[in-house]
């Protein structure tokens, strides 16, 4: 792979051990994927944060890195959700042992100037790359959003790769960084209008079908931004979709239609209902409802507050979001309404990366296909996938 003079110096260790190691990661990735060069990035988004997923080995690796004063990010870099709500962890029932380790991980990232925002929706809190800009993001749902809705260019980076890119301000130029690799390979035509959990079900169905492909959707009705958040998350979890296009909606759709578009997947109401049924593992009522996968927008929080206003919840509710949205929800009075009904706004974490299996819950209710896909395997709990109104048990 070609390196500029400056990159060569970074690679040879002239700027310290951490930059050298980070360049080695980028060059190794470039070699594997036959990149011809590196490309400058404008932002990074780093996963590998929850103590539940990275454990002591990950913690030690990060603390080692953070000791080197050269290990500082060169571009705006935000962090994925952690394993606990960093402030209300005790109230939610998380152990001090887990939380101590979790705080150490977040602090290590903070020392490296990764902004400890702890959210999977960085695009809702100011990490908003422009169309055509190169970025290195690692949360799969956020990568799908950045590529598809914003028109930025990112591969699905692993946590260490995204951190290396953040430290070097560069990433290997292959895959979705090349315009020729951003065209669709399958048309998906909807035969019915969709809303609510239909988007997640559609994403789950198509992700399973196309795997790493790039679907081109022809929808019958216009989606909301929050619908697309859920669609991309589902596409990226049942498959490995990092980029999709929607006719008339997403920024690159005009150049994305496959020329030999003889392959079309038609999706009707029955297909979506079948997926929804499959995503629930039980017909029992959820004892905990977890919303906000990906992390809730302020509008989603507002809608939940509207449903709950003046009512009492019989099951527990976590509405997962970023600290930024939580702060805005406090100001708008939404937090108070949700708490008065017995629910909670939970920030920094989510139902999948938190050790929720250590709490006393058996059935988790979710309106996200990604969460429905992961809760049984990552938490070992039963899951019910349904619309918010059906999940909430209200007095
Ligand atoms: Fe975000 Fe957790 Fe879902 S990281 S996308 S809320 S599984």
> CA 124, CA 134: separation in Å to the nearest integer?
18
Those residues whose C-beta lies under 8 Å from the C-beta of residue 361, and which sit 6 or more positions away, are: 287, 288, 316, 381
Helix/strand/coil for 365: strand
pLDDT for 205 equals 98
If you search the block for the tokens 């380790």, which residue do you land on?
101
Integer Cα distance of 173 and 154 in angstroms: 9
The rounded distance, in Å, linking the Cα atoms of 314 and 326 is 23
Dig out the tokens for 301 from the structure: 């929080």
- Could you give the C-alpha distances from 149 to 79, 142, 144, 190, 203, in angstroms and in order? 20, 10, 8, 19, 15
Residue nearest to atom 1 of ligand 1 (CA): 294
Query: pTM of the predicted model, to two decimals?
Result: 0.98
Ligand 1 close to Cβ of residue 82 (< 6 A): no
Residue 246 parent element (H or E): strand 245-246
Task: Render each residue's pLDDT in the chain as its tens digit; 395 residues.
Answer: 999 999 999 999 999 999 999 999 999 999 999 999 999 999 999 999 999 999 999 999 999 999 999 899 999 999 999 999 999 999 999 999 999 999 999 999 999 999 999 999 999 999 999 999 999 999 999 999 999 999 999 999 999 999 999 999 999 999 999 999 999 999 999 999 999 999 999 999 999 999 999 999 999 999 999 999 999 999 999 999 999 999 999 999 999 987 766 689 999 999 999 999 999 999 999 999 999 999 999 999 999 999 999 999 999 999 999 999 999 999 999 999 999 999 999 999 999 999 999 999 999 999 999 999 999 999 999 999 999 999 999 99
Q: Residue 152 is encoded by which pair of tokens?
A: 């930025």
Give the number of other Cβ atoms within 10 Å of residue 248's Cβ: 11
Please state the φ and ψ torsions of residue 142, each to the nearest 5 degrees. -70, -35
Mutate to test the pocket of ligand 1, among 371, 375, 377 (most ligand atoms within 8 A of CB): 371
User: Measuring from atom 4 of ligand 1, which residue has the nearest CA?
Assistant: 120
- Does the CB atom of residue 350 touch ligand 1 within 6 A? yes
Report the distance separating Cα 172 and Cα 41, nearest Å.
10
Residue ranges matching CATH 3.30.499.10 in the chain: 280-391
- In CATH, the architecture of 183-277 is 3-Layer(aba) Sandwich (3.40)
Instruction: Give me the sign of the Cα torsion angle 13, 14, 17, 21.
Output: negative
Does domain 5-178 sit in CATH 3.30.499?
Answer: yes
User: Within the chain, which residue ranges are assigned CATH 3.40.50?
Assistant: 183-277
Q: Is 120 in the pocket of ligand 1 (CB under 6 A)?
A: yes
261: which 2 tokens? 């578009």
Q: Which fold has domain 280-391?
A: Aconitase; domain 3 (3.30.499)
Q: Is residue 383 within 6 Å of ligand 1 at its C-beta?
A: no
């Amino acid at each position: 792979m070609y390196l500029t003079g400056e990159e060569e110096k970074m690679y040879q260790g002239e700027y310290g051990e951490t930059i050298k190691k980070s360049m080695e990661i980028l060059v190794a990735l470039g070699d594997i994927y036959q990149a011809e060069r590196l490309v400058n990035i404008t932002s990074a988004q780093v996963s590998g944060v929850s103590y539940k997923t990275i454990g002591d080995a990950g913690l030690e690796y990060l603390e080692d890195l953070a000791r080197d004063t050269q290990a500082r990010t060169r571009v705006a870099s935000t962090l994925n959700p952690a394993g606990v709500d960093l402030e209300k962890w005790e109230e939610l029932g998380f152990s001090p042992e887990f939380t101590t380790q979790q705080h150490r991980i977040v602090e290590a990232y903070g020392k490296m100037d990764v902004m400890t925002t702890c959210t999977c929706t960085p695009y809702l809190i100011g990490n908003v790359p422009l169309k055509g800009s190169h970025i290195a993001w690692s949360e799969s749902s956020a990568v799908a959003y950045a590529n598809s809705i914003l028109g930025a260019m990112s591969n699905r980076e692993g946590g260490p790769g995204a951190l290396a890119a953040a430290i070097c301000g560069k990433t290997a130029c292959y895959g979705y960084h090349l315009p020729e690799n951003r065209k669709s390979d399958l048309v998906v035509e909807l035969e019915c209008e969709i809303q609510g959990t239909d988007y997640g079900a559609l994403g789950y169905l198509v992700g399973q079908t196309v795997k790493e492909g790039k679907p081109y959707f022809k929808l019958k009705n216009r989606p909301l931004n929050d619908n697309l958040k859920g669609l991309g998350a589902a596409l990226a979890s049942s498959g490995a979709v990092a980029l999709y296009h929607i006719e008339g909606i997403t920024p690159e759709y005009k150049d994305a239609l496959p020329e030999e578009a003889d392959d079309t997947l038609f999706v009707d109401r029955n297909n979506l209902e079948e997926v929804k049924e499959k995503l629930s593992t039980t017909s029992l009522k959820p004892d905990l409802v977890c919303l906000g996968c990906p992390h809730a927008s302020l509008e989603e929080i507002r809608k939940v507050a509207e449903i709950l206003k003046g009512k009492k919840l019989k099951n527990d509710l976590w509405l997962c979001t970023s600290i930024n949205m939580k702060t805005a929800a406090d100001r708008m009075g939404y937090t108070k309404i949700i708490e008065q009904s017995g629910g909670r706004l939970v920030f920094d974490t989510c139902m999948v990366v938190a050790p929720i299996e250590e709490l006393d819950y058996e059935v988790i209710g979710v309106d996200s296909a990604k969460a429905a896909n992961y809760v049984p395997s990552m938490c070992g709990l039963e899951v019910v996938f349904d619309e918010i109104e059906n999940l909430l048990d209200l007095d």
